[in-house]
Amino acid sequence: MSEGGRALRGRVALVGAADTAVGVVPGRTPMELSAEAVRKAVADAGLEPTQVDGLVTCNSMVEPYLYPAEALAEYLGLRPRYCWASPAGGAAAVTAILNGALAIAHGLAEVVVVVMADSLRSGLSREQARRIQSSTGHPRFEQPYGLPVPAYYALIARAHMAAYGTREEQFAAVAVACREHARRNPAAQMRDPITVEDVLASRLIADPLHLLDCSLVSDGGAAVVLTAAERARDLPNPPVYLLGAGEGHRYEHLSQADDLTTSAAVEAGRRAYAMAGVGPAEVDFAQLYDCFTPTVVIELEDLGFCAKGEGGPFVVERGIGPGGALPVNTHGGLLSHCHPGNPGSMFAVTETVWQLRGCAGERQVPGARVGLVHAQGGVMSSHATLILAREVP
């Protein structure tokens, strides 16, 4: 770890957090949802919008702009000295927070808002959604064969099953655990209880993935406010400190992967742990990218919570639901809370802030002091990890 990486540890804090309504939110554009989230997060931080001098976002699929951060600043009436838009797909929220923290640490801004929103449920027709999905694959080696996104993850699932004997029931247990967390979250899109049998009986989407193995399609937005740790101590909420962050990138298109069962979460997690000075054993809860159930099994392994090939047994035997050995996706995750596309992991970040503040209500993890957020973009392509904490050790 470079001196610059070590120097970032504990220097920046998350001091405000807010979500909009999620699920089906008709009549609200992504820009309107983003603006609502910004205003709520800034108020939660005890600040005024005029004090925001940094703005970080990602582009919307429903309402794309050539310069999305600048367009949002214009809409809000802000003139920030730092603007940036993350291009990392599902990993955008985590890479955005890392870049916002770097801007603060290097004096480019004092108060940075990271905000993302989209309206995939209300703003896209079925045909538009299909066209977006078809653009994921490599234009020469994948798109001509017509694979939708679930099919790529089905290939990953089958590879893990073949290599390690992972069972469909173990994948299904991920969805059940996330739903159990969502049942304790009044904001979650899906709260009805489900069982492993329900998952396996749901409609087959791409063998071996069933409907309930797949994430939701949602509207919604979320935002967090970053500032220097010294300033954070004077604000009304307990600061949540950034201890570590890391990224890992092995490929863009799945056909170019040399291994479908191990991801660049290995590198992202290792770099984040090194910066934070903690390891998997010190993490009290984790928010793991769960666009499909197999991703959680692989991320548990690659982030060091269990050995390679033991992710399925870990989910079933040690548990990732409420009261489990490692609570995962305490808000319900992409499988049960919401998934508005690229902004999906923003809700993992806001949930982590509330867990570390100790104000998560019925879903609160007792004694939570260190939380890990991991996200990935593409098809297990771009990986990014955050380690957040109540205190700097």
Give dist(CA 318, CA 131) in Å, integer: 40
Q: Which pTM value belongs to this model?
A: 0.96
Residue 210: per-residue pLDDT:
98
* Dihedral angle over CA of 120, 126, 129, 134, nearest 10: 160
Helix ranges (H only) for 183-290 are 196-201, 229-232, 265-276
Residue 131: per-residue pLDDT:
76
* Residue 195 CA neighbour count, 13 Å, CB half: 3
Give dist(CA 257, CA 266) in Å, integer: 14
Give dist(CA 181, CA 296) in Å, integer: 15
Tokens 């939660």: give the residue: 44
Closest to 178 in 3D by CA, of 7, 327, 49, 24? 327
Q: Has domain 3-123+216-389 been given CATH number 3.40.250.10?
A: no
Residue 88: per-residue pLDDT:
86
Residue 125: per-residue pLDDT:
82
Q: How many CB atoms lie within 10 A of CB 93?
A: 33
* Contact assessment for residue 250 and residue 263, using Cβ atoms and an 8 Å cutoff: yes
Q: Where are the domains of the chain?
A: 3-123+216-389
pLDDT tens for the 393 residues of the chain, in order: 443 456 799 999 999 999 999 999 999 999 999 999 999 999 999 999 999 999 999 999 999 999 999 999 999 999 999 999 998 899 999 999 999 999 999 999 999 999 999 999 999 887 887 777 767 788 888 888 888 899 999 999 999 999 999 999 999 999 999 999 999 999 999 999 999 999 999 999 999 999 999 999 999 999 999 999 999 999 999 999 999 999 999 999 999 999 999 999 999 999 999 999 999 999 999 999 999 999 999 999 999 999 999 999 999 999 999 999 999 999 999 999 999 999 999 999 999 999 999 999 999 999 999 999 999 999 999 999 999 999 998
